[in-house]
Structure 1
């Protein structure tokens, strides 16, 4: 793919590229990013906490340098949200939305560095908005992992653009923060390493600044690494189990087709950007490898389609700048309008299927839940806890005093810990992920309300069990809790005693 001479990606291609951030072109980009945050805040509280968010909420109350399922960044921001907004759902999701908005701005900044004018910057930013809406809709590690991938790409581009090796320190800091967000960062790092080795950037291997960046990344990641060592690298076991589950359930299938689902009508833009990096821009070829290598690794390793999402903003930036320079003057207006229509359609689709906008049980909602199953897992948690409270109310006073609540998944346990205090319920216990590490309490419960387990399980592990209720919700929305494991039992203690039972009770989800 050849690039017209008027689109030379250099400092000469754009006069005034060093204007103040809040003036000129980026004012509109900043407004766009702020608008996405406003949309998240206004829509974020409509349904309820999603199951994964209930786990994050509980982990946020137990700050540590590591957790079974993820590094500490997401629970840290969860705790910050709790301190600022209490248990407000929209407040809990606020920082996820901010992280995605920052990624939108960084996308435009990459287009700016590559010589793009206002149109290219806005197109690049707009192309990033659909995933911004999806990734910021829930408080989850995906939001912060995505930002760290985009930030790493931006800082790498900044280094290559300026040829100032000191930027490697900033790249290392972004990588270190990414490792504290989600353990997928090594895939991007693999692309960066290959890109350095196979391009002119390998000259930096002799630079103290590059190795200083490596040291910075390791230093930032070190607290979590120490935590892992203290806990027998439990997250490695967790990731191995989750990956095996995903492969067994076929969640990796359609990975390549999934890239089209993620990018939708922005597909031509990112393809143009990838071709530019790999075939036309020798100076920036490293960024092409930062996409190609993770893509290959995820295909071979059977990853899920959204794992690569953080690689697309750097491609949108290059593609938008290339298109801006390529558009023939005669039809530029028509083609630019067509591109904007396509991107607005992308954004509309993302909003319809990933923001909690549809009235529950409407035709729109039913279609949306087929695309995005998270919506179903945002419904019914207060109803579940109310049902558990009714079961407790049917027990004797002595049984209620010595009661424990055992949740099968972290959603059930987290919901009890969130909504249970209004009913005077005890804290829930569970064997899943980090809940297991917090134990079964002292003194151990003598009576259990067991939520979400099968009759076979409770009768094999506990004494005196009887079925007490079923999980449901007032809105009649079917989800994992109401369909797959709806039974609620009342049991006595474990047959083998608590220490022996708990030792073998750990599992991952």
Structure 2
């Protein structure tokens, strides 16, 4: 039976537009110009030059977005624009969900301020799949709300399409799918399993993700290797209690809306039809806790929770309208009190001087489980330009007639991606014995020079190299690459054994990424 809890009139559209523009501008404002892009961003941008049905670390959606960025000039402005834009679209859907839940302008401002002045803004600094992931989850919930209000087959089909695109962006949305399926089975909405439209949606989702499934099959399902590696090197350091605490810390002064949303879905009668959302939330969060997921994996759950929480909060304070401003201040104030600590607005030197404040907030802990001088994401945004300049200096030392026989080899994907971003057109593409770059190597039949970025060759290769020239050592303070003592070398005068030994190593590295 269709339900209707919409308010009698919608809020002024200009307020929504102003908030969406604020979201986009805010994402630029919270990044100091001293920082480059983050290491993962360079890999994602480089994927535009290697279009495929999938990649070791991510599905293919971000590579298509990277092609668009290239068409627009490949500048940092556009790299930062798209995460901000997807965040603004998420706000738009949250605004519309509040209208469906029966909320007015105060509820919409509560939710919008919580979204703006929270960890969401920190996450959406970076050009990663996370912004589209959160948007995909929000679209699914928006369509689910529309289906609950008016059970049309169209909404089920569109949910299937969105899930398919969401999986092509990040596999994380599969946890939401499990939560939704469980929620449907445990409520009266299990009737969707008798509808042809539901299976049409499932079929469309499978068709959409089929290129990635084929790619995974042909490459031995490297996603399994990636998940095992992630679990052993990073997720093993995740605390389950810490995960739960972080859900509230992400939203600072607006965290009360999480509790408001969960309580209202359980007890507030006008939301009775939407209690499936509470079941989905509970099951999905439980799965994340069980698998020791990173705290931000669950952020796609919150736009709909804020929609219900803010609507209920508006009803609670319906008779105390003058106190509503105070609640908005409560949301905004903590953000501006600590935003220098959670965003890269200060220089690395300034952050290091205020290290204790950062340590108290727990944001100096890196994926190795240890505290460092500056946050890991910030350390991963330093040194790349200097590295590219050193590599360019090394390249110019190679005789022009030998450059066709030269290889640029890096230790890690961040180095290779950064060189390809800053030196595109000046040098051939750099590669690395890591991540997707193991499949992007050029032919190595005749290599006379190797421009090496990272560490000196290991002992197994060292005795086979006649000449090693050190070009320079990365000196950018607080860069993670500097901590790793990254250097640039020019190698030449190789023994004939090098070619076969190198091919064997590359083949082994490629094989390591296959699950079978």
Q: Shorter-chain TM-score: which interval?
A: 0.7 to 0.9
Aligned residue in 2 for 1:15: 8
Q: CA deviation at 1:248?
A: 4.1
Q: CA deviation at 1:320?
A: 0.3
Q: CA deviation at 1:117?
A: 0.8
Aligned residue in 1 for 2:259: 271
Aligned residue in 2 for 1:261: 249
Work out the CA distance in 2 between the residues paired with 1:91 and 1:251: 35
* Aligned counterparts, 1:328-343, within 5 A: 329=319, 331-334=320-323, 336-343=324-331
Q: SS of the residue aligned with 2:408?
A: strand
Work out the CA distance in 2 between the residues paired with 1:390 and 1:13: 64
Aligned residue in 1 for 2:302: 312
Aligned residue in 1 for 2:406: 403
Q: CA deviation at 1:399?
A: 6.1
Q: 1:328 to 1:248 in 2, by over 3 A?
A: closer
**Alignment match of 1:172 (pick from 152, 160, 167):** 160
Aligned residue in 1 for 2:23: 36
1:134-187 CA-to-partner distances (Å, cap 9, x unmatched) read 232111111111111111111111211223343111211211111011011110
Work out the CA distance in 2 between the residues paired with 1:294 and 1:461: 54
Work out the CA distance in 2 between the residues paired with 1:352 and 1:458: 47
* Aligned counterparts, 1:102-113, within 5 A: 102-113=89-100
Q: CA deviation at 1:115?
A: 0.2
**Alignment match of 2:58 (pick from 57, 70, 84):** 70
Work out the CA distance in 2 between the residues paired with 1:397 and 1:429: 20
Aligned residue in 1 for 2:439: 437
Work out the CA distance in 2 between the residues paired with 1:57 and 1:244: 27
Q: CA deviation at 1:366?
A: 5.9
Q: 1:188 to 1:465 in 2, by over 3 A?
A: farther
Q: 1:351 to 1:247 in 2, by over 3 A?
A: same
Q: SS of the residue aligned with 2:447?
A: coil
Task: State TM-score, norm by structure 2.
Answer: 0.86
* Aligned counterparts, 1:173-212, within 5 A: 173-212=161-200
The reply to whether residue 116 of structure 1 matches residue 103 of structure 2 is yes
Aligned positions, number: 488
Q: CA deviation at 1:231?
A: 1.9
Aligned residue in 1 for 2:369: none
Q: 1:412 to 1:252 in 2, by over 3 A?
A: farther
On the 8 A contact 1:459/1:465 being kept in 2, the answer is no
The reply to whether residue 146 of structure 1 matches residue 150 of structure 2 is no
Aligned residue in 2 for 1:5: none
Aligned residue in 2 for 1:426: 428
Aligned residue in 1 for 2:224: 236
On the 8 A contact 2:30/2:345 being kept in 1, the answer is yes
On the 8 A contact 1:444/1:498 being kept in 2, the answer is no
Range with bigger deviation, 405-414 or 489-498:
489-498
Runs of at least 5 residues in structure 1 that lack an aligned partner in the other structure: 1-8
Q: CA deviation at 1:87?
A: 2.3
On the 8 A contact 1:81/1:94 being kept in 2, the answer is no
Q: CA deviation at 1:309?
A: 0.8
The reply to whether residue 378 of structure 1 matches residue 381 of structure 2 is yes
CA RMSD of aligned residues (A): 2.8
Q: CA deviation at 1:108?
A: 1.4
Q: SS of the residue aligned with 2:152?
A: coil
Q: 1:244 to 1:26 in 2, by over 3 A?
A: farther
Q: SS of the residue aligned with 1:49?
A: coil
Q: CA deviation at 1:199?
A: 1.0
Aligned residue in 2 for 1:290: 280
On the 8 A contact 2:6/2:99 being kept in 1, the answer is no
Q: CA deviation at 1:328?
A: 6.0
Q: 1:392 to 1:81 in 2, by over 3 A?
A: closer
Q: CA deviation at 1:122?
A: 1.7
The reply to whether residue 501 of structure 1 matches residue 508 of structure 2 is no
Aligned residue in 2 for 1:388: 391
Range with bigger deviation, 353-362 or 289-298:
353-362
